[in-house]
Structure 1
Amino acid sequence: MLRPLVIAFSLVAAMPALAETRVPQTPAEIRFGFAPLVKEAAPAVVNIYAKRIVQERQSLFTSDPFFDQFFRGFGESQPKVQNSLGSGVILSDDGIVVSNYHVVGMSTDIRVQLKDRREYKARVLLADEESDLAILQMEDANTLPFLKLRNSDTVEVGELVLAIGNPFGVGQTVTSGIVSGLARSGVSTGNSRGYFLQTDAAINPGNSGGALVDVNGELIGINTSILTRSGGSNGIGFAIPARLVGEFVNQAREGYDEFRRPWAGMFGQPVDADMADGLGLDRPGGIIVSDLHPESPFLAAGLEASDVILEVDGLPVNTPAEMVFRMSVAGLGNQASVLVAREGEVTSYDVDLGSAPENPPRHTIEAGRKSAIPGVVMSNINAAVVWEFNLPFNIEGVVVETPGAVGSRLGLRAGDVLRVIDGEEVSSTKEADHALRNASKRLTLEVQRGTQRVVMRIRL
């Protein structure tokens, strides 16, 4: 289903050249409207039915609004089948399909139904909750209709578009509108804030994973969310740009099952009007660099704290989400051209894009039965760990990757940094594991959680 937003960060082959776009002009064009376009594009948009099994705890007080708050989490865990309905788009004649993560992520049984009612089983090749995208492979499929990816960086506000999907499960539906906005990064989907195209074409629950196509029948985005007060379409819908979809397909074809983003090793924030005056800029815009990791590729390229990044590969960046998007579509192993303002001068730097380095090695350890906290998974902190858990750049030591059942009950969380165990400072997983195996009956842990120091006193 579509994820509503209630108010309260190389493509397959080469991108096709931008064809001429225009509104219908002649009486014949007006009479037929979008019918020829729909006949061409609609067969490549599919319905997706997904099932997954989740574990739910059953409590005697589930239906009681008062006692449930005290007994939540108690009771035996019972498997429950969750059904999901959404849309998808075929991107190749051999059955590569793109949809949303929240439609198919973690599903064990996926069926894809074409417009002509043919059905195929499908499996997930690559999925990413943060981008809310998933790439599927239909089984035993060939010579299928598919849509071409357009370079979404060439899309302009005001272009006519069609949204095709399966809203509310009523069957394939087509709505029309225009591109209402570009570079929308102030809304959230998946697990974080994203970067979207905005359209006023009606999008409703069930349209998730459906196609947003231009008047040439090329895919410019994947419908993913709406901004709404009521749960229905208010004419503010968002689509994930086709350039990012293309990079997902590339990585899926290369055999990756998780999406790999280039690592920036950098913290930054948007430049507002007050900051622009102090930085000598003629207008607000760009991202000011507040901190750089010692192994950051931006630091290696020559950037410094207080630099303002204006463009990446010739396109403006004004929010961290735009920066993540630009680096993601540039792709790992490539270079990005970064335009930087420093003390009134503008300079271009070439930044090598790669993964966060695993230096020193993380040496992950899972505590055994004789440990004071059996099942806790710990790793040495390096650049990759810092990125995964959003830790401060200057932090060192041991991070809790998974607290385990015992650790969770004691109050440990993923991302906690173990500082002191029973009075002993620990700087490696080897030291932490040894300290936990020799802990006293009154265990004391000193943990850093974000910017706070937490002391835990535990009677074993």
Structure 2
Amino acid sequence: MIRATLIALVVAAATPLTAETRVPVSQAEISLGFAPLVKEAAPAVVNIYTKTVTQERQRTPFSNDPFFDEFFRGLSQPQQRVQNSLGSGVILSDDGIVVSNYHVVGMATEIRVVTTDRREYNARVILSDKASDLAILQLDGAEDLPFLDLRNSDQVEVGELALAIGNPFGVGQTVSSGIISGLARTGTATGEGFGYYLQTDAAINPGNSGGALIDVNGDLIGINTRILSRSGGSNGIGFAIPANLVGEIVHQARSGTEEFQRPWAGMSGQPVDADLAASMGMALPEGMVISDLHSASPFVEAGFKVGDVISMVDGQVVNSPSEMAFRMSVAGMGSTAQVTRLRGTEKDVLDVQMMAAPNRPPAAPVQLGENTPLPGLTVARINPEVIFRMGLALNAEGIVITDPGQHGARAGLRPGDVLLAINGNEVAETTEVPQFLSESGRRLNLNLQRGGQRLNLRFRL
């Protein structure tokens, strides 16, 4: 039935258009539509109701005054606040594996999933990834559920018909149609998204988040996640997370991983624009040029150098760091990716191991106890794993603050600050931090590196 509808669509599209309107003359034209496709796919899209309990400090008349707010901070009791929200999800297996957005379920304390036939399930998050804005749920006691198959999203083309299914504004399950408007969109959607999307003009509104974007065969090509809008409503520019990344995250969830493991590149780079291409003697601007490499990077092991241009990963075009990170994530941890390198007039393909950032030398984290000048302060030795996790510069060295603790945060310390010296004593090991702090007496002087700035913070204890 779906195939017949598609044939009718093609025939209708091939018919020359005229300025006149006319009455449909055949049963095929009368029944032209997506109804058979929706009947097949819609049962696999669910409504998700979440409850999040947060602790908020009771506001006082002095809450906006920096001095008095600090004075009354310890006197006001924190109160619980319950936040309810609504989103969508997609069933990917008959035993109740559901994918949704991180911003829908990632911080929820209670998750309830309702299917189109009004069955309700409690759900728990088994894997989440804030960077890609995806979360995988397991429905309790689910079996024999309808589900959608994943399509290879690298085969999706601009101009394909697409349907978005979700629960916009809580009005109930809704279907909107459109086309794929663009591929490999980066830096265009706001929020916590990973920055690599399919673009569609199918209407996506609040509540559609986590819903399905399907093709005319009923296969899942993306998870609806963001819109570009000034009003908050759909303007015909919506974004979906490609199905290939969804598939890798589901694979890791089924293997028991609780946090998505993304391969480490150990490099930084920039897109090759027209000026850069001309300076490098390239006929056309393409790819991403490597501007920095960590000595432990798997790309160094494979033979890459600063100044090389990466144009493809596993046969897919790469033109920016976001696309590079996406392609590595799709390749998956432990696999070997084929990376196309341009060096001068030479072009070759090198095998690169997809690996985690090494925890060498050991990070050796240390957390300060309650009877110290900065209780809760946590520091670690900088290594590739810490650089990757904290988003530090590739050339960062020394001891970094991973958690400033409550007192440290009030004093102006931030995660990612590199601790250079305490009261003039250079810090080389994490174990030296509590020692130097215990010797600080009534005055404390911290030398820090924050980004490209050196800071000197002084405290009276």
TM-score normalised to the size of structure 1? 0.92
Q: Which residue pairs with 1:55 in the alignment? A: 55
Change (3 A) 1:281 1:56: same
CA distance in 2, matches of 1:188, 1:301: 34
Q: Which residue pairs with 1:393 in the alignment? A: 394
CA distance in 2, matches of 1:168, 1:272: 41
1:110 pairs with 2:96: no
1:230 positional shift: 1.1
Structure 2 unaligned residues grouped into runs of 5+: 13-25
1:61–1:71 Cα contact (<8 Å) kept = no
Question: For residues 15-94 of structure 1, what are the structure 2 equivalents within 5 Å?
Answer: 23-25=9-11, 27-30=26-29, 31-61=31-61, 67=64, 74=73, 75-94=76-95
1:371–1:438 Cα contact (<8 Å) kept = no
1:166–1:172 Cα contact (<8 Å) kept = yes
1:422–1:440 Cα contact (<8 Å) kept = no
1:101–1:190 Cα contact (<8 Å) kept = no
> What whole-Å deviation, never above 9, does each CA across 1:352-400 have from its counterpart, x for those lacking one?
0100000011111111133221110111111010111122222221111
1:59 positional shift: 1.3
CA distance in 1, matches of 2:294, 2:327: 20
1:284 pairs with 2:285: yes
> What whole-Å deviation, never above 9, does each CA across 1:17-40 have from its counterpart, x for those lacking one?
xxx976343754442410000000
Q: Which residue pairs with 1:384 in the alignment? A: 385
Q: Which residue pairs with 1:273 in the alignment? A: 274
CA distance in 2, matches of 1:263, 1:341: 21
CA distance in 1, matches of 2:170, 2:68: 36
CA distance in 2, matches of 1:355, 1:60: 47
Change (3 A) 1:35 1:298: same
Q: Which residue pairs with 1:7 in the alignment? A: none
1:130–1:189 Cα contact (<8 Å) kept = no
CA distance in 2, matches of 1:71, 1:109: 36
1:50–1:83 Cα contact (<8 Å) kept = yes
2:189–2:239 Cα contact (<8 Å) kept = no
Change (3 A) 1:104 1:423: same
> What whole-Å deviation, never above 9, does each CA across 1:178-221 have from its counterpart, x for those lacking one?
00000001224443551000000111110000000000000000
2:189–2:228 Cα contact (<8 Å) kept = no
Q: Which residue pairs with 2:197 in the alignment? A: 196
With a CA cutoff of 8 Å and minimum separation of 6, indicate the structure with the bigger relative contact order: 1
- Amino acid in the other structure paired with 1:41: A
CA distance in 2, matches of 1:117, 1:180: 34
1:128 positional shift: 0.9
Q: Which residue pairs with 1:441 in the alignment? A: 442
2:151–2:221 Cα contact (<8 Å) kept = yes
CA distance in 1, matches of 2:106, 2:65: 29
2:133–2:193 Cα contact (<8 Å) kept = no
CA distance in 2, matches of 1:46, 1:404: 40
- Amino acid in the other structure paired with 1:390: G
> What whole-Å deviation, never above 9, does each CA across 1:144-201 have from its counterpart, x for those lacking one?
0000000000000111111000000000000101000000012244435510000001
Q: Which residue pairs with 1:15 in the alignment? A: none
- Amino acid in the other structure paired with 1:181: G
Change (3 A) 1:158 1:299: same
CA distance in 1, matches of 2:397, 2:180: 47
CA distance in 1, matches of 2:119, 2:391: 45
TM-score normalised to the size of structure 2? 0.92
> What whole-Å deviation, never above 9, does each CA across 1:86-141 have from its counterpart, x for those lacking one?
00000000000000000001211100000011110000000111110000000000
Q: Which residue pairs with 2:264 in the alignment? A: 263
1:286–1:317 Cα contact (<8 Å) kept = yes
Q: Which residue pairs with 1:13 in the alignment? A: none
CA distance in 1, matches of 2:287, 2:324: 10
CA distance in 1, matches of 2:407, 2:85: 33
Task: Give the 3-state SS of the residue equivalent to 2:228 in structure 1.
Answer: strand
Change (3 A) 1:335 1:190: farther
The Cα RMSD (Å) is 1.7
Structure 1 unaligned residues grouped into runs of 5+: 1-19
Structure whose CA Rg is larger: 2
CA distance in 1, matches of 2:103, 2:346: 44
1:70 positional shift: 7.3
1:59–1:71 Cα contact (<8 Å) kept = no
Residues matched between the structures, number: 438
CA distance in 2, matches of 1:405, 1:94: 43
- Amino acid in the other structure paired with 2:241: I
CA distance in 1, matches of 2:193, 2:163: 27
- Amino acid in the other structure paired with 2:311: L
Question: For residues 231-242 of structure 1, what are the structure 2 equivalents within 5 Å?
Answer: 231-242=232-243
CA distance in 2, matches of 1:427, 1:181: 50
CA distance in 1, matches of 2:69, 2:347: 57
- Amino acid in the other structure paired with 1:140: G
CA distance in 2, matches of 1:71, 1:78: 20
CA distance in 1, matches of 2:396, 2:84: 42
Task: Give the 3-state SS of the residue equivalent to 1:228 in structure 2.
Answer: coil
Identity across aligned pairs (percent)? 60
- Amino acid in the other structure paired with 2:296: E
> What whole-Å deviation, never above 9, does each CA across 1:235-276 have from its counterpart, x for those lacking one?
110000000000010000011111110000000011111001
Task: Give the 3-state SS of the residue equivalent to 2:227 in structure 1.
Answer: strand
1:457 positional shift: 0.7
- Amino acid in the other structure paired with 2:33: G
Instruction: Could you list the structure 1 runs, at least 4 aligned residues long, displaced by more than 6 angstroms after superposition.
Output: 68-73
Q: Which residue pairs with 2:295 in the alignment? A: 294
1:229 positional shift: 1.5
